[in-house]
Amino acid sequence: MAIYRMYTGDDGRSHIEELDLVSNVELTSLQAAKGIIFSETSSGHFINWHPAPRRQYIIQLSGQVEIGLADGTTVCYQPGDARLVEDTTGQGHTTRVVSKQPSITATIHLAD
């Protein structure tokens, strides 16, 4: 299990960094949220370049999802991984379900 942050850099592109609880104590504090949605996406599903629609956490419950960045980097998220998605502007990222089984996620919409 790991925690990642996706954000838009000064270059207008999405970037990913791994976060740890020791260096990012704000993660251990209560955060305001609007709600939670559970979703299932079929194996092989692909979403081309897109920024995130809002600030949100996405927790991978089952299956595996690969996120692609403009520099060619890809990161595969496993069950238990959490991502703080903040790349709401710019080119965004690609998303592909790479597991044979569907991807099931819990998406927590953060308060403004």
Torsional class of 27: left (φ above 0), alpha (ψ -120 to 50), beta (otherwise): alpha
Supply the pLDDT for residue 65.
Answer: 98
CA gap 28, 13 in Å, rounded: 28
pLDDT in 10s for each residue of the chain, 112 residues: 899 999 999 999 999 999 999 999 999 999 999 999 999 999 999 999 999 999 999 999 999 999 999 999 999 999 999 999 999 999 999 999 999 999 999 999 999 8
What pLDDT shows up at residue 28?
93
Task: Quote the pLDDT of residue 4.
Answer: 97
Specify whether the CB–CB gap between 95 and 6 falls below 8 A.
no
pLDDT of residue 112: 85
pLDDT at residue number 93: 98
* Residues with Cβ within 8 Å of residue 47, at least 6 apart in sequence: 94, 95, 96
The pLDDT, as a whole number, for residue 80 is: 97
3-state class (DSSP) for residue 46: strand
Task: Locate the domains of the chain by residue range.
Answer: 3-110
CATH 2.60.40.3950 corresponds to the domain 3-110: no
Question: Cα(93)–Cα(6) distance, rounded to whole angstroms?
Answer: 9
The dihedral of CA 11, 9, 68, 48: what is its sign?
negative
Query: How many angstroms separate the first and last alpha carbons of the chain?
Result: 27
| Number of residues in the chain | 112
